[in-house]
Amino acid sequence: MIKRELPATIVYEDDDIIAFVPLKLQAPVHLLIVPKKEIHTINDVSDDDLMVLGKLFLVAKKLAKENGIAETGYRLSINTNEDAGQSVFHLHMHLLGGEKLGLMVSQEE
């Protein structure tokens, strides 16, 4: 359940998904795409959640196109638990783009 406790610029909403601009941008285009159903992490996803997970990706595709980054490229990221950087324990997808993005992790050999 999304509580709307903080002010946000909502860029998409339907019965299952809400997407908004985060408070701290990490790229020129940075959106959070969130299922309204309470799912803490990707580890908590069940077979009943398949539709909403698919919808996350379809909304990401739509928003990438609307923001002019579908052709140049963008990154979708879901962090799971603390070691991966998850700080809000409600499943959400980051859509990042609008510039050449660096590597996500070190490529050291």
Q: What tens digit of pLDDT does each residue of 15-52 get?
A: 999 999 999 999 999 999 999 999 998 889 999 999 99
Beta partners for residue 31, in sequence order: 95
What's the rounded Cα separation, in Å, for the pair 69 and 77? 15
pLDDT of residue 88: 81
pLDDT band at 1 (very low <50, low <70, confident <90, very high): very low
Distances (CA, A) of 105 to 38, 85, 100: 29, 12, 15
**pTM of the predicted model, to two decimals?**
0.86
Please, which pLDDT band fits residue 8 given cuts at 50, 70 and 90? confident
What is the residue-averaged pLDDT of the chain? 88
pLDDT, one tens digit per residue, over 56-75 is: 999 999 999 999 999 999 99
* pLDDT on residue 5: 65
Distance (Å, rounded) from C-alpha 107 to C-alpha 16?
37
pLDDT tens digits, 84-93: 677 887 889 9
Query: If you ran DSSP here, which 8-state letter would residue 83 be given?
Result: G
Boundaries of every domain in the chain: 17-37+49-97
Q: Which residues carry out catalysis?
A: 92
**Smallest Cα–Cα separation from 18: which of 7, 39, 34?**
34
CATH pick for 17-37+49-97 out of 3.40.50.10490, 3.30.428.10, 2.60.40.10, 3.30.70.60: 3.30.428.10
Residue 62 · residue 84 · CB < 8 Å: no
> According to the model, what pLDDT value does residue 71 have?
96
